[in-house]
Each structure stands twice: as C-alpha cells, then as structure tokens.
A and B are shown apart, each in its own frame.
Chain A
C-alpha cells in the first residue's frame, strides 16, 4: 500500500516540541540502545522516519511513543543531536491532541497563551461561583459544620459531577485511541477473547508502571511512582472520604495521615521535577514544553494551597482556611478540566492502554500468522 507524504507534518510536530527530527540520518543507535525496543515494536528510529516523511496516518496509529518512557539514553547516543527521546515525547503530545475529539487539546498544545487564558478564565469562574455560592448559603468565617462557607457535601457532589464529565471526555478519547491504533487496522483486528486475556495488564501498568521500572535508570521511575501514588491517594481521599477530610479542627489521623503523606509526596516530587527542569539536570529534563511547566506549577500550587487551607483550619483560622480553600479550588478545577482529558494527565490512561493494546496486537498478529500457516498447503 502506498502512503502519501505530507511534508507539513514536521512543522506541525515542531510546535509540539520535536525541533530536531530532520537531523536524524537513521544510523539506528537510538533503537539499539533502547532497552524497550523489541520486535515488533522497534523504536524510536522508525517513528522518527514516519515523522520525517510526513506519514500522518502511520504516526496516528503508532503505539510506540507510548511504549517509550524517555530515559534519554537514545538522545545521549544520537550522533546528530536529533533528540529521539524528545521527539517521542512530542509525539505523545501530538497523539494526545489527535485522540481528543474536541480539538481543545490541539489548541492547548499549540499555544501556551491559550492554555493560560483557559486556566485564568476557569479559575475566575470557579472562584466567583464558589464565592457567590458560599456567601449566599454560608459564612466565610465558618469552615465546616452547618453554615459552612464551602460545605463538604456540596464540594463532594461537585467533585463527582466534574469527575463524571471529565471521565466521559477521556473515555471517548480513549475510544478514539483504540480506533486509530487497533480498530481501523485489519492487521491489528483482535477477538474479544484476546482483549479479555490481556485485560489484567491495564491495572498492572496503571498502578505499578512496571515497564517504566524496567528502564536502565531507576531514578525517574521512583520519582514518578511516588508522584502517581500520592496523586491517586489524594484522589481516593477526596472522592470517597471528603467529609472526613474536611471535618475538624481536630486531626483525624486515620484519614489525615494518608493526606499528609500524599501531600508530602506530591510537593517533594513536583519540586524535584521542577528543579530538574530548571537545572536541565537529566536528558529528559533538557527540553521543556510550555505545557510541562504549566502542569508542574499547577500541581505544586494545588498541593500547596490544599495543605495550607487544611493547616489554617486546624490552627483555628477558618477565615484564612476558607480563602485558601477557594484559591485551592481555583487551581484544582482548571487543572483537572484542562489536563485530564485534553493534556498531559490523559497519559495516565493512554500509557496503560498502549501497553495493553501492544500485547493484544502481538496476539492478533501471531494468531493471523498461525492461521496463515495452517491454510498453506503442506
């Protein structure tokens, strides 16, 4: 099958961060050094080629960028400074935008100004909404209990509504990812049984990032797993135990101990990541897209305001706690709305899905091969 080249794709990916892909002359050192490059997923060289040639559809149905964890060895080995690691990173950004059916992702990645504007608008809307609601139904000097400024039951209901909406978006995007990488390609058509057999991989890779841990360098995985587990713990606490979390001012160690640990985990790992990016201390920190900065800063801000409002409440300053809570929500809402279905946070779904799909693809291809072998005359 002949595929059509689109020379404009290179310029398009450049906006997503792939600045150097045309420098690649395909020596293959990157692929040789990559511990994950195993048949039939030989990368990153071939993906670099798809991009150089402008093979848009090939790239769209490519799972390989998600199988890379950017340890940076490829970029360090590259004799041409073509930055294969950063190119794979940029492809993940681009793929996120391709999977997103709304086009919002594309907008956010292409223009940090648009993203910032989105954050500000959402923050103002959130702030105004909760302030007006809080002052109408409660007292800004009361943190919890009857007449509270932001009662936990209301926030709880709001959280679930938002989670439902965002999950819907994200699920649709995941569906599109399936279509591009699996559904539309007859080569990768798999039976439900094949999907069922590998389903466990989804959870395994979601919770352990097992593959990430198999990189030659363990440091980035350690940081990432602490960050991820802290985040998930916080998510569980908020989604299921919010009333317990907000009740006070006494410290409820059964709930709060987890919260403190998660907050510490978030603040420390995010600070380390930010510092790494400022210092460019590792290959994967050398190139920072605007969205990387925005994501880390937002996360740090949210974790910091979260713990500060909690501390103020416990220390007997409900007014300050409420103001900080409002500020916290003004960070949380835009962060989740923009990041989860449309930007970096979507990778928490795409990565385990890619691991899952890649195994199903291998199964499907193997089944096809053995079927073909059987039909061959003896």
Chain B
C-alpha cells in the first residue's frame, strides 16, 4: 500500500460546503495521510475545470487512487468515475466522502463539521487503497418481449414494440382482447367511443406478424434475468409454451370494486341499483331503464363507491369522477326530461379538458350534491303516491339540511381494485406490491414504469388507478425503455455485485431466501449457491448473512470497509 499515490480533492460546492467546513484545513490534514501525494480544494470540483484538474494530476503526478470529498456519491460519482476513465485509470479507483449532506448541510458548528469532514476524508483515503480494478460486464439482450395483459395498456405496448420490428408475446386470461375498456361505451372528457379506440388497435395487433397472441392463457413461470428471461405460457387448453424474452411488460390492469360490499346501497337486492359497468352496458345497448324496465325520470349517480373510504379502499380511483360526469351528460342526451343527481365527496376534475367537462355537466343541469366521506346515502322505497321508485336521503353539507330526493335509478361508481391474482403475478415476475395490492414502481416520479427487477416493467392500472391516456403513456414509456435496450443489443451489468466463493460455500441456502432480487441460484447437483450477477443489486444482505463468510461483495470487501472505519476513527 505504500506504493499508492493518492490524490485528495476537497470541493467547496460554491459556499455550500466551505461556509461551514474549513476546506483548507481538511486539505492540510489529508496531506498528512500516508500515500497522499496531492490534496487540493476547489470551488466546484464537478465543473469542467475541476475535473480537468483531477485528470491533469493523474496524468502528471501518476496518481493511481483518487478521493473526492464533496456531495453525495449519488450525485456525482458517475461524473468523477468518467474523469478517471478519461485520465486512463480504472474508474473504481475512486472513493467519495460526503462532506456536504453529511457535514455542511446538517451541522452548524464549523469546528465539529471540519473535524467530521476530515474524518470522512481520512476514511476514504484509507479505503481507496484497497480498491480493486473492476470491469463492467455485458449480457446479451433478447429483443423479444412478453406483454401480460391485453387491455388498452398491453395492446399499446405490444403495438409499439411490434411495429418497431420486435417480437411480442401477448398473453391475456380472457377470451378476447380489450380488457376493462371493452366494457365501456364513450370515454371522458371528449366522448370518443371506446369501441373505436379499441377495435382499431385489436385489429392491428391481430394482423401484426410480430405479435403472438395467447388468449385464455396465463404466464405460469418466469426465469432468468434482464435480457435473458424464459417465460412459460399456459393456455387454458393445450400445451405449455416456453418462450425466450428480454423484457416483460406487466399490464394486468384492475378489477372493479364489488358494490355489494357496501350494504347501504342494496346492490344485488335492489334491482334499481346498478354499477357503472352495468350502466355502460345499458348505454351500449341504447336503453336506459329501471329494474322494472321503465324509463327513469330521476337518475342518481353516486361517486366513490369503495374508494376514499376507511372501510374499503382509501385511495381515489381517479377515473370515476369524470365517468360520472359523462353519465350525467349521456342520460341528459338520451332522456332530456330526466333529472340527474350527482352525489360526490369531492369532485376530482384534474387533467386536460376535465374542468371544462365539469362545467359542461353543470350547464346541462346536472344537480350536484356533496355527501360526507365514510357515510353512505340511505335509500328507501317510495310510497304509492310518489312519482319515483325510491328516495335517497343525503345530509347535504352545503346547506346543512337533510334532504330526501326522488330517484328511479341509482348508478354506483365502483372504484378500481388490484386484481385477485396480483400477488401471484408479483411473485411470478418478482416485483413488489403496496398495501392495496398495486405493483410498486422503481421511483414514483423519476422511474415510474420500471420495477426493482430489471427488465420487468409495469404499465397502466396494475400500478395504480389511472385513465386511458395515462395508461397509454405508461405503455409507451415502458416500450421506450425496452427498445433502448434492444437498440444497444447488450446490457451493461454493474461491476459491483456479490460473488460466492464456491470452495467455501456449505450449501446451507440461508442466502437463497434472503435475496430480495432472486439473484441467487442454487445448484442442486453441486450443492452450492451462486449469484446471478445480472440480477444482483449489491445490497449486501447475503454477504452479511453467510455463516461461512463465503460471499464477497465486490467494491464492498471487508478489507475496504474495515480500513474505512479505521480511517474515520
């Protein structure tokens, strides 16, 4: 280790660091460390001149290890690694000490902050000498994709991929393509026909030679890793098919909330109470009638059935508000003399065109009523003298009166729920679900279609309730990610991953169940575990759990970590 030449670079980050940490003192202390041949501070180390300085020092002074004390490595580690590559040394010969988030931003005492920055820098100096040169590795990328779910999201994903010349296996449990959208009449807020949207896409899917469609089928197994999956497709009748794919798009959608769970509405026993999907059916058949087959004079639409409630689902199902406004307009257009009551908790009219749609609904005289969250309006049958089938009692918060209003037909806006098989699907493709059963994305804002399993993408309502345009956008986003990988032809696998020393492994399999990424393979013949490096995220769980200390995490070796601790102390 005495042979190493280390350069230490202390960033001021403008004044972000230097206003609390005395950077020059840290430079001085760093110079005292064994192996450090140069130490400098600079205003912005990540800037081009900052990087140039490092590159120049490496080349002129023959540095072989670099420590940058600056911001979080999440921010600029890639930047400095690139600088090292430019200078001609292995990028893993870099170590960063976070003296911004962990020092200057969280401490007010300059003395203590400076001491801490010095300690962290020393730790990095001690650690970096143990760094080993690591090389990035590549695996092949199979250009075929498995799309699970044939609703609007799955159809879009399949078309995007197939029309770019890639092979797609499209699997749906139903006998027909179209998913839940196939049960809808018109769409909000522009009143386009769902049928028009769908049939054109389904036709394109069925005609495209790049798409193999499996109906009445489900995916029964998925093995492998990004770029190299093997999927088993099990048709309801017939032989299991195994296909090779590089990526998976999960677009399994949602299931409508079961309205009979809300006892107060009497769905299932009162024939005048129907769900939104049953009303869509009426609209498609062109006949709006009550349970007795009469034309309704008063139609009531109740929002948030199963949604935004403590008892059922706490989340908002997002599409019901606009669908309810659409129903109001459709009722009025079919039955101009009918009165439409719209019972809502809050009107969520976000999204393009939706506020106008809400206004439009008011303009055609939809009567809006606000009811309280976690309550259900009561329904009672009307008497023989009344001109309606039922009365609905609402405690109207906007005028403080308890109001009975006449109604003949009640439409329950049922929310969206995760499908019953979502747990099974999640297990199958190795992704996680939130407490409501929706699949979890990699990052809620910056990576909304990727998952913790590389190569597996989620799109549409299986991730959370969303409307058609959002689902389509997600499908396209997922396919864009896939096509970027296909275009590169191979996949870069991070050089940082765990390795099992086959000689030390006792085959106890403790690590097998522990790995959150399913990255550990157990060879039953040799009775040894091994890490599939392409799947490994280098979390270190297996490393610390291995009773035989047979697993080593590259770039996080025991030596490196102990040296760092020593340096810090």
Contact = CB atoms under 8 A, between A and B. Distances in A.
Interface stretch (B53-61, B84-92, B147-155, B398-406): B398-406
Interface stretch (A21-29, A210-218, A307-315): A21-29
A2 B402 contact: yes
Chief secondary structure at chain B's binding surface: strand
Nearest to B341: A7
Given A3-B403, A53-B401, A10 B362 contact: no
A49 B398 contact: yes
B287 interface: no
Interface stretch (B225-233, B364-372, B524-532, B555-563): B364-372
Nearest to B340: A7
Interface in B395-423: 396, 398-406
Contact of A7 (B362, B393, B398, B405): B405
Contacts of A3: 401-404
Given A49-B396, A49-B398, A80-B359, A4 B365 contact: no
Contacts of B401: 3, 53, 55, 58
Interface in B350-409: 358-359, 362-363, 365-370, 393, 396, 398-406
A256 interface: no
B362 to A, nearest CB: 4
A105 interface: no
Contact of B403 (A10, A45, A53): A53
Contacts of B365: 10-11, 22
Nearest to B298: A7
A1 B393 CA distance: 11
A91 to B, nearest CB: 14
Nearest to A28: B398
B565 interface: no
Contacts, number: 68
A101 interface: no
Nearest to B362: A23
A373 to B, nearest CB: 22
B339 interface: yes
A312 to B, nearest CB: 54
A7 B367 contact: yes
B31 interface: no
A23 B359 contact: yes
A5 B362 contact: no
Contacts of B402: 1-3
B347 interface: yes
A80 B362 contact: yes
Interface in B124-157: none
A52 interface: yes
Contacts of B363: 22-23
Nearest to A51: B399
Contacts of A4: 403-405
A131 interface: no
A307 B86 CA distance: 102
Interface in A3-36: 3-5, 7-8, 10-11, 22-26
Contacts of B347: 25
B405 A52 contact: no
A23 B356 CA distance: 11
Contacts of B406: 5, 7
A347 interface: no
Given A5-B404, A7-B339, A22 B399 contact: no
B269 to A, nearest CB: 24
Given A49-B396, A49-B398, A22 B403 contact: no
Contacts of B339: 7-8
Task: Give the size category of B's interface with A.
Answer: 20 to 34
A28 B362 CA distance: 17
Contacts of A1: 402
User: Which of B358, B367, B368, B399: most chain A CB closer than 10 A?
Assistant: B399
A46 interface: yes
Interface residues of A, number: 24
A345 interface: no
Given A2-B393, A22-B362, A22-B363, A52 B368 contact: yes
Nearest to B400: A46
Nearest to B386: A4
Interface string A29-67: 000000000000000011001101111001000000000
Contact of A5 (B358, B359, B403): B403
Interface string A49-93: 110111100100000000000000000000010000000000000
Given A10-B367, A55-B399, A25 B362 contact: yes
A1 B404 CA distance: 10
Nearest to A26: B398
Interface string A224-238: 000000000000000
B393 A5 contact: no
Nearest to A11: B365
Given A25-B347, A52-B367, A46 B399 contact: yes
A80 B355 CA distance: 11
Contacts of B359: 23, 80
Contacts of B370: 26
Given A3-B404, A25-B347, A49 B367 contact: no
A80 B398 CA distance: 17
A54 B393 CA distance: 14
B405 A5 contact: yes
Contacts of B362: 22-25, 80
Contacts of A49: 396, 398-399
A5 B363 CA distance: 20
A127 B516 CA distance: 100
Contacts of B400: 46
Contacts of B404: 2-5
B399 A50 contact: yes
Nearest to B347: A25
A46 B402 CA distance: 14
Contacts of B367: 7, 10, 22, 52-54
Nearest to A50: B399
A54 B368 CA distance: 12
Contacts of A50: 399
B386 to A, nearest CB: 10
A2 B363 CA distance: 28
12 contacts: A2-B393, A2-B402, A5-B404, A7-B298, A7-B339, A7-B341, A11-B365, A25-B358, A25-B362, A46-B398, A52-B367, A54-B405
Given A22-B368, A52-B368, 7 more contacts: A2-B393, A3-B404, A8-B339, A25-B347, A46-B399, A53-B367, A53-B401
Interface of B: 298, 339, 341, 347, 358-359, 362-363, 365-370, 393, 396, 398-406
Going nearest first, the 3 A-B pairs with the smallest beta carbon separation are A5-B405, A49-B399, A7-B339
Interface of A: 1-5, 7-8, 10-11, 22-26, 45-46, 49-50, 52-55, 58, 80
